[in-house]
């Protein structure tokens, strides 16, 4: 009976620790802004206390040239409060920008007005184990053809290909 009570308490504790509360309650510990003539992309990293372990919550925002308001793009949480990688935002030309973090990739082909976000977990088979640095690097040429290098754990898939700037990805 005592084992069952302890197990029940642990299950309840884990369930409650996964409930996300206000994600802005942590202190800002790192920030990086990519500035270009057409667009600015900002990444703010906050301590995140919504889980069992203190993590780092990255908030991606953008603003168009001559605009004052930042618009939210996405959030990504790490189990550790890591520093922001400074080389994940790339520009192909004055209309095409992309960035990646963890297993998420985002691209704009209209100067930052609209963003297409892709979750690589939707492409890679679910049975494959992933890690927080699944996307190792992305190389896209000005004709839209590119490769995404993956850094998986015990996975045979090590790259994905695109021919449309990363709007869609395929396993070679």
The boundaries of the domain holding residue 77 are 1-29+42-83
Q: For residue 28, list its beta bridge partners.
A: 46
Whole-prediction pTM: 0.82
In degrees, rounded to 5, the angle at the alpha carbon of residue 85 between the alpha carbons of residues 116 and 83 is: 120
Q: What is the pLDDT of residues 25-83, one digit of tens each?
A: 699 999 999 999 889 999 999 999 988 889 999 999 999 888 899 999 999 999 999 99
Structural domain ending residue among the three candidates 52, 83, 114: 83
Domain match, 166 and 101 both: yes
pLDDT for the residue numbered 10: 40
> Is 160 a domain residue?
yes
Whole-number pLDDT of residue 124: 82
Compute the residue count for the chain: 172
Quick check: 2 pLDDT over 80? no
Instruction: List pLDDT tens digits, range 90-143.
Output: 999 999 999 999 999 999 999 999 999 999 989 887 666 567 888 999 999 999
What pLDDT does residue 16 have?
40
Claim to verify: residue 113 and residue 137 sit in the same structural domain = yes
Domain membership of residue 36 (yes or no) is no
Which of these ranges, 5-9, 74-78, 134-138, 144-148, has the smallest mean pLDDT? 5-9
Confidence check: pLDDT of 24 > 70: no
Q: For the chain, how many structural domains are there in total?
A: 2
* Residue recorded with tokens 């990444």: 43
Q: Report yes or no: 43 and 32 within 8 Å, Cβ to Cβ.
A: yes
């Amino acid at each position: 009976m005592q084992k069952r009570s302890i197990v029940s308490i642990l299950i309840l504790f884990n369930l409650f620790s996964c409930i996300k509360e206000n994600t802005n309650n942590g202190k800002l510990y790192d920030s990086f802004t990519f500035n270009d003539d057409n667009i600015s992309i900002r990444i703010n990293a906050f301590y995140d206390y919504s889980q069992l372990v203190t993590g780092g919550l990255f908030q991606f925002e953008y603003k168009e040239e001559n605009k004052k308001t930042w618009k939210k793009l996405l959030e990504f949480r790490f189990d550790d409060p890591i520093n922001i990688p400074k080389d994940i935002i790339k520009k192909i030309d004055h209309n095409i920008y992309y960035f990646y973090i963890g297993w998420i990739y985002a691209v704009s082909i209209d100067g930052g007005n609209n963003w297409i976000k892709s979750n690589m977990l939707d492409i890679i088979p679910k049975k494959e184990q992933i890690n927080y640095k699944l996307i190792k690097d992305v190389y896209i040429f000005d004709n839209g053809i590119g490769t995404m290098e993956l850094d998986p754990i015990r996975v045979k898939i090590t790259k994905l290909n695109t021919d449309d700037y990363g709007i869609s990805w395929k396993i070679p």
